[in-house]
Amino acid sequence: MNFELQNQCILVTGATSGIGLDIARSLAEFGAELVLFGRNRGKLAELKRELGARTLAVDITDEAAVTEAFAGIPVLDGLVNCAGISILDDVLDVKAEDLERIMTTNVTASAVVAREAARHMIEHSRQGSIVNVSSQAAMAALPGHLGYCASKAAMDAMTRVLCLELGPKGIRVNSVNPTVTLTPMAERAWADPAKREPMLAAIPLGRFATPREVALPVAFLLSPAASMISGACLPIDGGFTSH
């Protein structure tokens, strides 16, 4: 089986920062042609030069903008739904507007992008692959993460429905579920030992993930090497959800 992504065109949302940025760079390394969605126009311009990618400034929560963006992109073989947000509050302080924002971005917008990607693949007779970047928060309760846990659990449920309905069209759909991943933002957020050490103690491998350790399983799931894998939610969590 071939782990390479030569001659495959893959769309990555949330590509201008965090895990999405590392995914884009790793996919380029494996030979993929990239279409990158993001909101940071300056970073998109940098990635266009660095990776030779086609870049589009798109707010994925704007359904009309997403539909319009798909009208002008090349024929797709894959999608990585990576754009997402997190707003943390204790249960007694949760605000309805924050929950709505989280669900709109992490679930509704991701579903719309997946819908458009699937339509695009079917229209062009491509048997492609969709990977949703979920979280260990879909599988375990985390304090302060009510909205985020709910949104990622919904994303995993969405993965299974997409798998069921798109499988007959030859489109595979999977999720990856990372633990804390040490992007620059996460390194700052988890710098406090009082916060960091209890989480590390709950991870059997005793460390957080690197962005590369998330990007490589995503590349695998997009590749022909994963040709019989669909409907899976793959923990990338050092064993956090094993207990």
Active-site choice (43, 95, 148, 169): 148
Q: Residue 78 and residue 17: Cα distance in Å, rounded? A: 20
Q: Residue 180 and residue 14: Cα distance in Å, rounded? A: 17
pLDDT the model gives residue 4: 84
H-helix or E-strand spanning residue 10: strand 9-12
Summarised one tens digit per residue, pLDDT across range 157-186 is 999 999 999 999 999 999 999 999 999 999
Q: Residue 205 and residue 209: Cα distance in Å, rounded? A: 10
Summarised one tens digit per residue, pLDDT across range 199-213 is 999 999 999 999 999
pTM of the full predicted structure?
0.97
- For residue 128, what are its two tokens? 């492609």
CB 55 within 8 A of CB 33: no
Please give the distance of CA 180 from its chain centroid, rounded to a whole number. 14
Report the b/e string of 110-139 with b at 16+ CB within 10 A. bbbbbbbbbebbeeeebebbbbbbbbbbbb
Q: Residue 29 and residue 78: Cα distance in Å, rounded? A: 16
pLDDT the model gives residue 2: 62
Q: CA distances (Å), 180 to each of 118, 139, 195, 203, in order?
A: 30, 14, 12, 10
Q: Residue 177 and residue 63: Cα distance in Å, rounded? A: 26
Q: Between vectors from CA 214 to CA 147 and to CA 217, what angle results, nearest 5°? A: 120
| Beta bridge pairs of residue 38 | 57
Active-site choice (43, 152, 169, 195): 152
Max Cα distance, the chain (Å): 52
Per-residue pLDDT of the chain (243 residues; tens, 9 = 90+): 467 899 999 999 999 999 999 999 999 999 999 999 999 999 999 999 999 999 999 999 999 999 999 998 999 999 999 999 999 999 999 999 999 999 999 999 999 999 999 999 999 999 999 999 999 999 999 999 999 999 999 999 999 999 999 999 999 999 999 999 999 999 999 999 999 999 999 999 999 999 999 999 999 999 999 999 999 999 999 999 998
Of 26, 67, 21, give the one whose Cα is nearest residue 221: 26
| 152 is known as an active-site residue | yes
Summarised one tens digit per residue, pLDDT across range 24-43 is 999 999 999 999 999 999 99
| Tokens 């660095």 belong to residue | 50
pLDDT the model gives residue 1: 45
Structural domains of the chain ordered from first start: 9-180+211-231 (3.40.50.720)
Phi, psi dihedrals of residue 28, rounded to the nearest 5°: -65, -40
- For residue 72, what are its two tokens? 């002008």
| 169 is known as an active-site residue | no
